[in-house]
Amino acid sequence: MEKVGFFRSIHVKFVTIYLLLIMIAMQIIGVYFIGKLEEQLITNFKHSIEGRLPLLEYSLSEEMKKDRTDEEAPSLEEEVRKLLFDFSGEDISEVRVINNRNIVVGTSERNNQGIVGQKTTDVMVKRILAGGKKEDNIFIDKPSKDRVWILTTPIKSGGEVVGAIYLVAKIETVFDQLEEINQIFISATLIAMFITAILGILVARTITRPISDMKRQAVAMAKGNFSRKVRVYGDDEIGKLALSFNHLTRKLQEAQAMTEGERRKLSTVLSNMTDGVIATDRKGRIILINEQAAKMLSVSRETVISHPITELLFFEDKDSFEDLLEQQEPIVLDYSTNESPFILRANFSVIQRDTGFINGLIVVLHDVTEEEKIEADRREFVSNVSHELRTPLTTMRSYLEALSDGALHDKELAPHFLNVTQNETERMIRLVNDLLKLSKMDSKDYEMNKTWVDFVSFFSSIIDRFEMAKDRNVSFRRQLPDKVIFVEIDEDKLTQVLDNIISNALKYSPEGGQITFKLKELDDKIEVSVRDQGLGIPKENIEKVFDRFYRVDKARTRRLGGTGLGLAIAKEMIAAHGGHIWARSVEGKGTAIIFTLPYDPEQKDDWS
């Protein structure tokens, strides 16, 4: 934190900006200076070479128009070679002379005399012979990677172009000079910046020292220390600011002493309250909020101060602050999410003077989530039980009325009506029994009679029972380990769990479907799964299958005698064994109910 604070200080910023300005100025000067210098050096280099060309052009034109009929006279190539050897210098790599038939008649390169007499293919030379205007350009020499300047100029005689000069000069020396000048300029810039940085630090200290003192004083004041004073360094604007700061410190010290006692009293009361408390000013802006209220609303006390109360409680769209001042009854605030319910009750009290002037509003928040949840569960439970009992009772009443009206003497209808009445009675008995089981589990009023059981054999026997008694074309597939796995369980309760799960799988399996039974041995538990190929469960409802009275297909479940409590009972029983139960499903492809039970592999040695 100290390192970050150092780089954010005004001292560093001042020196940094100062150095950046100097650097930018030096860069601008350097770019302009180097650009102009480069342009001037290249121009001088070209002029120094081009100044020597007229004499060479004249000598070559004279040689080209001589009569060469005398056999003892030197040939044109020999004369040209002498002229070129004399012309060559340190800055010139090669000079070639080409006649008007594109034939090379001479070159200054002693190791390249083989091109004499050959036809040139250079485009620049061809343009010179055709147009008569000289051309030049800078290229990169591929073998050496150096820059070279190539100049082609015509050789004229009597106003006609009789040949061309092709000159290659070593212009890389100019750029080497520029590089040396650049290094000198950079060194000078660094020296200048070093001196400038020292001067900038000295200048910045005279400005930032009193500001740093005031910053330290402000930090001390924030911690409650009002005894320090800011040193006054002069009578300028910063000195007057230091005097004003010291005066402000004295005033704050007096105000602090007056309000500290009242603040402690109020803070003690608010911090020990279990309810949330929010206070506003007369315009509805928050001026106080205790920790409990901030925790309930998941906000920071510092961020909500001075914010409108209607914005904090999400009333801005439906209620104004004036509406809240007239609110007599508590308001229920529902902040529930899909993951967790959260409901608050808000009570409003107006802060009002004797004259009737309103100073603000006090809001007291009370968490009623559990109360609302219990009430909602009670209402839902009563509704579900009433609905489940009403259906069979209505059916029984209808059939009994029919029997009393004369159907009792009908030999075909009477047995059917009595059978339906008996089935509905048994269904109500099963429902009541399931409710009693859940009630016992909720009150923990039941005992677990655990014994060590070979779960593979236990599971297989239950599957055998269902396979022998099934009346539908559904195949069973077993994936059970071929060994003994001893688990401590209550056989009766686990039998009921597996009966509920397998019964559901049979109910929802289509004709010709398959139910897969699987048992896996994990590190410290076993995993049991029963998978069917039924209609599946929608993804958004998959967590509800263990809720009481939940059914995927209500009509089919009632027709087959289901109460909607089987998986709820299974969940409670698995939890009582220290295990976990869940469902996996793909809509239209089937459902798998999976549960785990604690398992100690070391018990295997004891039983073996």
Q: Are strands 331-334 and 343-352 parallel, antiparallel or unpaired?
A: antiparallel
| Structural domains in the chain (count) | 4
Q: What pLDDT is attached to residue 284? A: 82
User: CB of 590 within 8 A of CB of 532?
Assistant: yes
User: Could you tell me if 463 and 592 lie in one domain?
Assistant: yes
Query: For the chain, how long is the longest CA-to-CA vector?
Result: 157
The answer on pLDDT for 563 being more than 60 is no
What is the structure's pLDDT at 3? 46
Same domain (yes/no): 483, 438: no
- Using a pLDDT cut of 70, give the percent of the chain over it: 84
Give the H/E segment covering residue 515: strand 514-521
Which of the pair, 548 or 524, is modelled with greater confidence?
A: 524
Place of tokens 């299974």: 570
Residue pLDDT, tens place only, 407-460: 777 777 777 777 777 777 776 776 666 666 666 656 555 667 888 999 999 999
Residue range 154-169: mean pLDDT, rounded: 85
Report the candidate in 50, 46, 33, 49 with the shortest Cα–Cα distance to residue 178. 33
The pLDDT confidence band at residue 68, using thresholds 50, 70 and 90, is low
Is the pTM higher than 0.75? The answer reads no
d(CA 342, CA 334): 6
Same domain, 580 and 524: yes
| Same domain assignment for residues 507 and 528 | yes
Mean predicted lDDT score pLDDT of the chain:
79
Using pLDDT thresholds of 50, 70 and 90, give the confidence band for residue 143. Answer: confident
Give residue 99's pLDDT band: very low, low, confident or very high (50, 70, 90): confident
Q: Tell me what percent of the chain is helix, strand and coil, each rounded to the nearest 5.
A: 55, 20, 25
Say if residue 504 is in the same domain as residue 594: yes
* Residue 515: pLDDT band with limits 50, 70, 90: very high
Contacts 24+ apart (CB under 8 A), 129-135: 129/98, 129/100, 129/102, 129/154, 129/161, 129/163, 129/164, 132/156, 132/161
Classify strands 514-521 and 475-479 as parallel, antiparallel or unpaired: parallel
Looking at residue 538, what is its pLDDT? 82
pLDDT given for residue 541 in this prediction: 74
* Residue 551 pLDDT grade (very low, low, confident, very high; cuts 50, 70, 90): low
The residue out of 170, 201, 216 marking a domain boundary is 170
Q: Taking Cα atoms as reference points, which of 536, 532, 436, 521 lies closest to residue 487?
A: 521
Q: How far is CA 140 from CA 135, 147, 172, 354, 574, in A?
A: 17, 5, 9, 96, 84
Mean pLDDT of 455-472: 86
Domain co-membership, 60 together with 100: yes
- Is residue 215 a part of any domain in this protein? no
Contact 562, 507 (CB under 8 A): yes
Residue 152 belongs to a domain: yes
pLDDT at 572: 82
The answer to whether residue 190 is domain-embedded is no
Q: What would the mean pLDDT of 488-511 be, rounded to a whole number?
A: 86
Other residues' Cβ atoms within 10 Å of the Cβ of residue 84: 23
414 and 455 inside one domain? no
Q: What pLDDT, on the 0 to 100 scale, is given for residue 385?
A: 64
SS3 sequence of 576-605: HCCCEEEEEEECCCEEEEEEEEECCCCHHH
Token pair for 88: 């060559």
User: What residue ranges in 125-212 does DSSP mark as E strands?
Assistant: 135-140, 147-157, 160-169
Residue 134 domain boundaries:
51-170
pLDDT of residue 212: 74
Taking 70 as the threshold, does the pLDDT of residue 275 lie above it?
A: yes
Mean pLDDT, to the nearest integer, of 107-134? Answer: 83
Please compute, for residue 483, the number of CA atoms within 13 A of its CA located in the half-sphere on the CB side: 9
Question: DSSP string covering 41-92, please?
Answer: HHHHHHHHHHTTHHHHHHHHHHHHTS----TTSPPHHHHHHHHHHHH--TTE
pLDDT score for 480? 92
The per-residue pLDDT for range 163-179, each reduced to its tens digit, is: 888 888 888 888 888 88
54 compared with 320, residue with greater pLDDT: 54
Q: Kindly indicate the confidence band of residue 105, based on its pLDDT and cuts at 50, 70 and 90.
A: confident
360 and 337 together in one domain: yes
pLDDT in tens, 503-512: 888 888 888 8
Is pLDDT at 269 greater than 90 in this prediction?
A: no
Q: Is residue 580 in a domain?
A: yes
CATH number, residue 57: 3.30.450.20
Which of 198, 203, 126 is CA-nearest to residue 166?
126
Q: Is residue 322 predicted with pLDDT exceeding 60?
A: yes
Q: What's the token pair of residue 381?
A: 């439970």
Of 422, 442, 462, the position where a domain reaches its end is 442
Reply yes or no on whether the pLDDT at 606 is more than 60.
no
What pLDDT score was predicted for residue 560?
47
| Rounded distance between C-alpha atoms, residue 366 and residue 274, angstroms | 8
Q: Residue 185 contacts by C-beta under 8 Å, 6 or more apart in sequence? A: 30, 33, 34
Where is pLDDT greater, at 489 or 400? 489
Token pair 């620049």 is at which residue?
124
In-domain check, residue 219: no
CA 21 to chain centre: 38
Q: Are residues 466 and 584 in the same domain?
A: yes
Claim to verify: residue 525 and residue 413 sit in the same structural domain: no
How is residue 232 written in tokens?
Answer: 């006054």
> Between 29 and 86, where is the model more confident?
29
Residue 17 domain-assigned?
no
**Which residue among 143, 170, 197 closes a domain?**
170
Note whether 385 and 478 are same-domain residues. Answer: no
**Within a domain: residue 245?**
no
CATH number at residue 455: 3.30.565.10
Instruction: Answer with the residue of higher pLDDT: 50 or 594.
Output: 594
Q: Which long-range contacts (CB under 8 A, 24 or more apart) does 304-310 make?
A: 308/284, 309/278, 309/280, 309/284, 309/285, 309/361, 309/363, 310/284
Q: Are residues 415 and 552 in the same domain?
A: no
In a domain, 298, yes or no: yes
Q: Are 548 and 565 in contact (CB under 8 A)?
A: yes
